[in-house]
Structure 1
Amino acid sequence: MKIKFISYLIYYFIRLINLTYRYEFVGLDNKKKARAYHPKGAFVFAIWHQNLIPGILAHGDEQYTMIISESKDGEIVAVTCEKLGHKPSRGSSTRGGKKALIEMVKNVKSGIPGALTVDGPKGPAYVVKPGVIELARLAQCAILPMSPYTDRFWVIKKSWDQFRIPKPFSRVVIALGEPFFIDDSITKEKFDLVALEIAKRLHEGEEIAKSHFKT
C-alpha cells in the first residue's frame, strides 16, 4: 500500500513538472530508419540511466516496454511507468533478468518499441552492458541511441550515476543517433565492439544536444 501511494505521488509530480518542459528533437530521421528495419515498426532506445526521466517523458503518449528491477525501488518505478502508459518487464541482471528479457523480446516483436538504460541498474556509469545488443538480436530490431540534455537540472549526487532531474520550465533537447542494425549471426566477440560504439554515439549525441544551447 505504501509503495503504491509513493508511486502515485511520483506519478503526479512527474506529470505536473512535465507540463513545464519544452522538448526539441534532433535526428528524427534516425527514428524513421530504426522503425523501417522492423516489420511492425519497433526498435529499442539505448539511453544512459542518468537521463531516464526526460527519456521516458519526451515521447508523449507513445507506449514503450522496458526492464525494471524486481526490488522495492523497482516496484515504485514500475507502477509509475504503468501509470504513464508503458509496459514494464520485471527483472534485472541479478534477479529475474532472463525472464524479463524474454518478456521484453515478446513485447518488441509484437510492435511495442523498447527502451533500456544501457549502464543500469547499478552501473558502472557510461559502460554499455550486453543486454541491449542481445535484445536487438533476438527481436531483430534496431538500436536507437537517445541522448537527452538540458542545461537546468538537479543532480542526485549520492547516486552511482549522478542521476539528473530536469528543473521546471527547462528546455530539453533529445538527440537521436544513427541506429545500429544487429545481425542475428553476431558473435559474442563482437558484442564488446558494438557496446563501445553505442557508448561513443551516446556521448556524441549529448554533445550535439548541448550545442543547441549555444546557438
Structure 2
Amino acid sequence: MRDPTKASPSQRRSYHARTWGWVGVRALRILTATWSEHHEGLHLLDELLENKRPHIMTFWHRKFVTLFPLLQGRPVCVATAASPPGDIIADMCDRFGYLSVQIPDHGRDHSLNLMGKAFAHADQASMAVDGPHGPYHAVKQGAIQLASELGHLIVPVSVATRRNIVLSHRWDQLEIPVAFTRVSLVIGDPINIPANLSQDKLPSWTKRLHDVLEELDERAERKVREL
C-alpha cells in the first residue's frame, strides 16, 4: 500500500524532524520493553484485515504517544499535520513501519480530500478525531464524513497506563507513559456509518463516536487498574 498523495519520505524531511523522530521512537521502544500489557479486542483488527474490510481507527489525541508502539507491524496509514510537529510524527511513523499522510492544518475541504485519497487506498487508517488542535475531546466531523464517503468502518480505540506523565499545559493533556508501567489497549466494536450521510445527520454520529470513545477510556482505565 502506498499513499497516492506521495507524502515526503523521511530522507526529505528536515534534520530536526529526523533527529527528534529517531529520539522519540528509540525512547518508546525502550519503554515498551518494560511494560506489562493487556490487549482487548485486538483480534477485531485482524478479522477486519483478513476479511478485507477497510476501516479507520479513531482515538483521542492525548493517547497517540502510547498507541504508537502498540500497533506497530500493522499496515496503518496515519493522518498527521503538515507542520514541524507533524513532520516529527511522520518520521516516527516511518520508523514504526506505518505510512503517513500529512494534511494542512486549516485546509478544510482540501484537507479532507487529501485524507480521502490516502484512506481510499488503505485497508487500515487512523486519525485522532479531536486533533491536531482541539478542542479537547471534541470529535470533528471529518472521520464520520470519510467513513460515509469511502464505505470504511469506524473502529474506536483507547489505551490507558497505570503511571504516566500528563502534559497539562497542552490543549490535549498529552499522556507520556513511563517505564515499568501497566498498559491496557482496548479496541471497540466497529461502527458502520451509513453511505451518503447528509449534513444534518453528522452531529448525531459525532456524538455517538464521542460517547463510545469516552466509554472505552473508562473501560481501559478499569482494566489497567485490575492488572
TM-score by length of 2: 0.84
Residue number in structure 1 paired with 2:204 = 193
In the alignment, does 2:30 pair up with 1:19? Answer: no
In the alignment, does 2:74 pair up with 1:62? Answer: yes
Structure-1 separation of matches of 2:166 and 2:175: 5
Residue number in structure 2 paired with 1:125 = 136
* CA displacement, residues 2-28 of structure 1 (integer Å, 9 cap, x when unaligned): 332222222211222222223222234
- C-alpha RMSD of matched pairs (Å): 2.1
CA shift, 1:212, in A, is 1.7
Percent identical residues: 24
Distance 1:100 1:196, change over 3 A: same
Structure-2 separation of matches of 1:34 and 1:132: 18
* CA displacement, residues 65-97 of structure 1 (integer Å, 9 cap, x when unaligned): 1221111111111111111111111114414x5
Asked whether the equivalents of residues 23 and 171 of structure 1 are also in contact (C-alpha less than 8 Å), the reply is yes
CA shift, 1:164, in A, is 0.2
Residue number in structure 1 paired with 2:195 = 184
Count residues with an aligned counterpart: 212
Aligned letter for 1:132? A
Asked whether the equivalents of residues 183 and 224 of structure 2 are also in contact (C-alpha less than 8 Å), the reply is no
Alignment counterpart, residue 145 of structure 2, candidates 134, 137, 154:
134
* CA displacement, residues 151-175 of structure 1 (integer Å, 9 cap, x when unaligned): 2111111110110011112221112
Structure-1 separation of matches of 2:154 and 2:123: 14
Distance 1:93 1:72, change over 3 A: closer
Distance 1:7 1:33, change over 3 A: closer
Asked whether the equivalents of residues 40 and 110 of structure 1 are also in contact (C-alpha less than 8 Å), the reply is no
SS in 1 for 2:137: coil
Distance 1:100 1:20, change over 3 A: farther
Structure-1 separation of matches of 2:136 and 2:213: 12
Residue number in structure 1 paired with 2:185 = 174
Asked whether the equivalents of residues 186 and 216 of structure 2 are also in contact (C-alpha less than 8 Å), the reply is yes
Structure-2 separation of matches of 1:12 and 1:29: 27
* CA displacement, residues 166-193 of structure 1 (integer Å, 9 cap, x when unaligned): 1112221112222211121211111111
TM-score by length of 1: 0.88
What stretches of structure 2 of length at least 5 have no aligned partner?
1-14
- Which 10-residue stretch deviates more, 182-191 or 196-205? 182-191
Asked whether the equivalents of residues 159 and 220 of structure 2 are also in contact (C-alpha less than 8 Å), the reply is yes
Structure-1 separation of matches of 2:105 and 2:212: 24
In the alignment, does 2:123 pair up with 1:109? Answer: no
Asked whether the equivalents of residues 17 and 88 of structure 2 are also in contact (C-alpha less than 8 Å), the reply is yes
